[in-house]
Amino acid sequence: MENITANEIAGLGVGALLLAAALATPKVDAFIARGQRRKLNLCMECGGVTRIPCMRCKSRGTLNQNIFSLEGSSKPTTCPACRGKGNFPCPSCCENN
């Protein structure tokens, strides 16, 4: 019976470790990503892509304006935030270009 108990305790321990790892993974990923970027001399903001996706239009470049339209027609308009490009030049590494 002691073996079963030991296995159960081991199982609980592994379960707790897995749970802790699952909870910590996003933070660890972000930490590693930032560390790798720094190590590779990549931009901390964009990771060397030099582009930041537009949050306003979700990188589509157009906005669906039907919510604001009185006619009820849904004609997509060019996103004013990114001017239809869907992304921005990275402010961190592109401002001198």
Contact between 81 and Zn ion by CB under 5 A: the answer reads yes
Quick one: which segment of 8-16, 18-26, 30-38, 74-82 binds Zn ion (CB under 5 A)?
74-82
Contact between 93 and Zn ion by CB under 5 A: the answer reads yes
Pick from 34, 56, 65, 66 the residue near Zn ion by CB under 5 A. Answer: 56
With a CB cutoff of 8 Å and minimum separation 6, the contacts of 87 are: 51, 52, 53, 54, 59
Contact between 92 and Zn ion by CB under 5 A: the answer reads yes
Q: How far is the CB of 68 from Zn ion (least distance, A)?
A: 16
| Token duo for residue 91 | 């402010």
Residue 89 CA: distances (Å) to CA of 16, 17, 72: 43, 41, 34
Contact between 42 and Zn ion by CB under 5 A: the answer reads no
Question: Which residues in 1-97 belong to E strands, given as ranges?
Answer: 51-53, 62-64, 76-78, 87-89
Quick one: which segment of 7-15, 24-32, 33-41, 76-84 binds Zn ion (CB under 5 A)?
76-84
